[in-house]
Amino acid sequence: MAIVSVRQLVKRYGDLVALDHFDLTVERGEVFGLLGPNGCGKTTAINCMLSLLTYDKGTIELFGEPMGPARYDLKRRIGIVPQQVAVFNELTVEENIDAFCSLYVADRTRRRTLVDRAIAFVGLGDFRRFRPQKLSGGLLRRLNIACGIAHEPELIFFDEPTVAVDPQSRNAILSGILALVDAGATVVYTSHYMEEVEQICGRIMIMDRGRAVAEGTVGELKGMIGIGEKIVVEVTDLPEAALDAVRYLPATVSASYRGRELHVACAQGESHLAAVLEVLASFGVAPVRVYSEPPTLNDVFLEITGNELRDHGAGDERPAGR
């Protein structure tokens, strides 16, 4: 059953169309990655799904039922881990988790158990009585997560939860998310870090200008773009004629020589490494080092959404009239 079902969602801010007939389906138990450049409508889509924001057209169903601002029965089953750390500086770790958990669970005894579990889950046992100012960036992020998941929601939205954390904390957070999914949760995950999306998300949607422009597994997305493997050959010197010859190979999408390295982007299909090396040998160029790698999600993202900068002026925060 689809946990999240969004159909033909339209959201306008005056003349700007933030969501343009946007569709989304998230199945139970999956980690769904929502990618897109800044201002593409990710957060607007999430806010609409959470009923923090009204929309002009379309339908949103969560857990098979229409979502609305007063659907507290559905909200009780949802958790959110916002991008910005949202905790109370005057309360301790334990109190913060309990304060947010109390928005979902009224029973104090049950809440105590849930808070203990959340603290253990994010590994903040030694910091229960610490106030947020005393926590490092990584620990703060973990507290931010604990506040969002303490009530054991079935559907969790993670909005760039690993911004500005060290690799160790990032790994801990990603492992934690996978553990939540193992425990039965469904996760909608947004991030600009392609490698971590590639690492944990089963399915990914790439959004641009308020629309879903690509959707599928990592493999499916990589198959959608024209670029295949990328070959890098380190050489001491490369004659211009040799570079031109590589460019004229049928599978070459682009080739460039910079800093003693020849970079060749090839088309989808078989490996073209042998053909490239053969051309170089014909010009008497001896490779010092050679390696080849498949396209990354980053390549997919850039090819689909383009290379131009997307942040305009004051950023993408804007007020919305209800």
Binding site for other proteins (CB under 8 A): 13, 18, 39, 41, 43-44, 47, 50, 52-54, 70, 72-73, 75-76, 78, 80, 82, 84-88, 90-91, 95, 98-100, 102-104, 106, 108, 147-148, 316-322
Residue at token pair 């970079």: 263
- Nearest distance from residue 41's CB to other proteins, in Å? 7
What is the identity of the amino acid at 190? T
Q: Contact 275/249 with Cβ under 8 angstroms?
A: yes
Tell me which residue of 41, 82, 32 sits closest to 187, measured CA to CA.
Answer: 32
Q: Which is nearer to other proteins, 74 or 233 (CB)?
A: 74
- Nearest distance from residue 254's CB to other proteins, in Å? 35
Hey, what long-range contacts does 128-134 have (CB within 8 A, 24 or more apart)? 128/92, 128/93, 128/94, 129/92, 129/93, 129/94, 130/92, 130/93, 131/89, 131/90, 131/91, 131/92, 131/93, 132/85, 132/87, 132/88, 132/89, 132/91, 132/93, 132/96, 133/89
Q: Which H or E element spans position 240?
A: helix 240-247
Tell me which residue of 155, 162, 191, 292 sits closest to 232, measured CA to CA.
Answer: 292
Q: Which is nearer to other proteins, 190 or 252 (CB)?
A: 190
Q: Which is nearer to other proteins, 90 or 195 (CB)?
A: 90
Q: Which is nearer to other proteins, 112 or 247 (CB)?
A: 112
> How far apart are the C-alpha atoms of 20 and 57, rounded to whole Å?
9
Q: Which is nearer to other proteins, 128 or 203 (CB)?
A: 128
- Nearest distance from residue 252's CB to other proteins, in Å? 41
- Nearest distance from residue 180's CB to other proteins, in Å? 17
- Which residues in 254-274 are b (16+ Cβ under 10 Å) and which e? ebebeeeebebbbeeeeebbe
- Nearest distance from residue 87's CB to other proteins, in Å? 7
Q: Which is nearer to other proteins, 152 or 229 (CB)?
A: 152
- Nearest distance from residue 172's CB to other proteins, in Å? 22
- Nearest distance from residue 122's CB to other proteins, in Å? 16
Token output for 48: 């609409």
Q: Which is nearer to other proteins, 269 or 319 (CB)?
A: 319
Token output for 234: 């380190």
- Nearest distance from residue 2's CB to other proteins, in Å? 21
Q: Which is nearer to other proteins, 182 or 317 (CB)?
A: 317
47, 207, 305, 313 from 12: Cα distances, Å:
13, 16, 21, 19
> How far apart are the C-alpha atoms of 201 and 30, rounded to whole Å?
8
